[in-house]
Chains A and B, each alone.
Chain A
Amino acid sequence: MRYMMLIYSQEKTEGLTHDDARHLQAAHWALMDEASQKGVFRGAEPLKPTSMATTMRMKDGKPLFTDGPFAETKEQLAGYYILDCENLDEAMDWAAKIPTLCKGGAGCIEIRPIQELPSRSS
């Protein structure tokens, strides 16, 4: 089953030190390599901060666009991994390896099973 690991972390205005950023990136690369070697890696991307986000919602049947994310919360979606795991226990093991230290604040990882769509032919 494919699981999406949603990385939530605090967005601080002050950035990381150069060294922190390098370490964080190296940790992600190491994890992606490990997951690829084990054959579970299906994708991972970081996201730009929510100050770059635009939200669309339908209002009276028309799309309405606003600045920023949908909800004002302390922790924001910062990136994701998609890993193909045997079960939730395996997914939990991988989630525990994802570096969550982002811009100075410890974050959390939400593990969500991906809903498989029925094939379009049937």
Chain B
Amino acid sequence: MDVRDAAEAVFRAESGRIMATLIRLSGSFDRAEEAMQEAFASALAAWPERGIPDNPAAWITATAHRKLIDQTRREHTRRDKQDALRYEVENVQAVAEIDSGGEPESMKFPDDRLRLMFTCCHPALHREAQVALTLRTLGGLTTVEIAKAFLVSESTLAQRLVRARRKIQEARIPYEVPPPHQLAPRLSSVQAVVYLIFNEGYTAACGDRLVRLDLCAEAIRLGRVLQELLPHDCENLALLALMLLHHSRRDARIRNSQLVTLEEQDRKLWYRQEIAEGLELIDRALQRGPVGQYQIQAAIAAVHAEAKAAAETDWNQIAALYGKLLHFNSSAVIALNHAVAIAMSSGLEEGLRRIDDLGRAGELDQYYLFHAARADILRRMDRSAAAKEAYLRAFALTANEVERQFLRQRIVTLD
């Protein structure tokens, strides 16, 4: 393999783990990143001659660790000789281990990434900062790629990262897995960030499709880390299952840059392996319990995944699951999904009645999917004129070209 390709592969797959270790060793995001970058530069210089090491990630970590120590030693010689000595001892150990072909001691901390996830998703940071920091620190995406995916300029994103890292340092946000009494809310913040990253990639919003698929893949990878490191939390299993089940439809849901509804998707294009893994995960989560939001959402996705054809979808079960989901989160959007499931199972009239009830509450009036869902029910009832009106309403409420194209298509078919 080409050295540059090898280095890039290591960066994509392992930079999260390397960063996590370096941050633990240095106690600083900035120093860790600087050391990691220097180590990658060293790799590009050294590998062509010496060959790619057997464990490139360990090589990068050990090299970056050495750079950290050099840096610390320089800073400490004047002030604190004792501390420099301590680092030096660790350095000698790490180098000795890597020379003997083993993983350095510094790589053997499986908890590092988990701690870092909690730091990056700390509630004292703004949600946008949590997302950027998590992707930048734990994912394998560059700042340019993240900026592109979130449609912000590179400098805005860089600013966001600088501010977040500064707050971590200055307000002393710890680099720890939270104690038991804080764990539940903190874990749900981490899960929310991972799911947000996934959804950002999944939504058919404008932007480069490849970049968006990268985001989904990145979120799934983070979900795997979370599930590996905290496997006892059922919601971690369910979150990963949910993302896998949605992601498995990626090729079927876009045709000629147009959105294809679940009903009209060619199910042969679904990725069977991801579905199998998702189903296995959600089964395991549901057996263990306690039940949570991600489990119900994943269970809904599982019902769709299990239907061989759209007409075979078990809408009764989906309606029941949405009903359950409402107990956890009584949002109007979930109520809308519930009503649609009822329309598909108990009857269109009943579904429409519920949707109209929701509409009267006013909250969903500016939500394009509300009008699109309503239009779809009306279309199924052969009330073409009313359906068209609702589609037009939806059309006026979305700026997303993929969605507009979809609605345009629907309107044309009704004419």
* A-to-B contact residues, CB < 8 Å: 1, 86-89, 92-93, 111, 113
Contact = CB atoms under 8 A, between A and B. Distances in A.
Interface stretch (B171-179, B189-197, B336-344): B171-179
Contacts of B179: 89
B182 interface: yes
B2 interface: no
Contacts of A111: 171
A65 B166 CA distance: 36
Contacts of A88: 122, 124, 171-174
A87 B170 contact: no
Contacts of B171: 88, 111, 113
Contacts of A86: 172, 174
Interface of B: 122, 124, 170-174, 176, 178-179, 182
Per DSSP, are chain B's interface residues mostly helix, strand or loop, or mixed? loop
Nearest to B123: A92
A88 B169 CA distance: 10
Contacts of B174: 86-89
A87 B122 CA distance: 13
A89 B178 CA distance: 8
Which of B170, B171, B178 neighbours the largest number of chain A CB atoms within 10 Å of its CB?
B171
Closest 3 CB pairs of A and B: A87-B174, A87-B172, A113-B171
Contacts of A93: 182
6 contacts: A86-B172, A87-B173, A88-B171, A88-B173, A113-B171, A113-B172
B391 to A, nearest CB: 45
A1 B176 CA distance: 17
A81 B175 CA distance: 25
Contacts of B170: 113
Nearest to A89: B174
A1 B172 CA distance: 8
A6 B154 CA distance: 36
A55 to B, nearest CB: 28
A84 to B, nearest CB: 12
A42 B265 CA distance: 65
B221 to A, nearest CB: 27
A20 B174 CA distance: 37
A72 B321 CA distance: 49
Nearest to B173: A88
Contacts of A89: 173-174, 176, 178-179, 182
A47 B171 CA distance: 25
A93 B186 CA distance: 13
Which of A1, A86, A88, A93 neighbours the largest number of chain B CB atoms within 10 Å of its CB?
A88
Contacts of B178: 89
B132 to A, nearest CB: 19
B117 to A, nearest CB: 15
Contacts of B124: 88, 92
A113 B176 CA distance: 19
